[in-house]
Structure 1
Amino acid sequence: MNPLKLPTTLLHDQAEACLAQWVTQLPPALPPAVTLDASGLAEFDSSALAVLLGLRRALTHKGSALRVEGMTPRLRELASLYGVMDLLQPA
């Protein structure tokens, strides 16, 4: 499975559609971990964290894990502020 990529912009208005698209496109058989590249994310709000946590939850339900790579310092700071950094740490 190719790594998923966060879009450049992920704000509240796009969050639900982004998560729904990823969840519906997940194949029935998943690898032990799915990689998500967050390096391209430039404009975002806390909804980006909701998308990451929602994807993590969907993957966990299917027996897989989420591995987030390329988190920008700003995204790391926001995840730490909200207390979810441990859930999004790269494996």
Structure 2
Amino acid sequence: MLALPSQMTLNEASAALKVLLPAISAEPGPQVQLDASTLTHIDTATLSVLLACRRRASALQRSFSVQHAPARLVQLAKLYGVQDLLELQTA
């Protein structure tokens, strides 16, 4: 399981992608799980990062999910209609 940073807003999105995308490619196994338990600062860029991670997992033919999603992330994903794509699992 790959851990997400505590802050993943527009300011951190590019740096997060530079770390997460290669880590997803290197992650062994049939599924990619991201741990969002420490994620506290989010905005719509967070959704963009997570969708890019999902695309990478899909390109590698792996399932994708976000574990321990904070309520704010779930609300934002529902607002934008991407909660099913991100496979958000709450704590």
TM-score between both structures, scaled by the size of structure 2: 0.87
The verdict on how the C-alpha distance between 1:13 and 1:90 changes in structure 2, with shifts beyond 3 A counting, is: closer
Match of 1:43 in 2: 41
**Larger % of helix: which?**
2
Map 1:46-85 → 2, pairs under 5 A: 46-85=44-83
Give 4+ residue runs of structure 1 displaced > 6 Å after superposition.
none
How many matched pairs? 88
Shift, 1:90, TM fit:
4.5
Structure 1 unaligned residues grouped into runs of 5+: none
**Superposition TM-score, scaled by structure 1 size:** 0.87
RMSD: 1.6
Unaligned runs of 5+ in 2: none
Give the equivalent residue in structure 1 for 2:7: 9
Identify, as 1 or 2, the structure richer in strand. 2
Q: Greater CA deviation, 73-82 or 10-19?
A: 10-19
Give the aligned residue type for 2:50: L
Residues 39-74 of structure 1: per-residue CA shift (max 9 Å, x gap):
110011111111110000011001112121101111
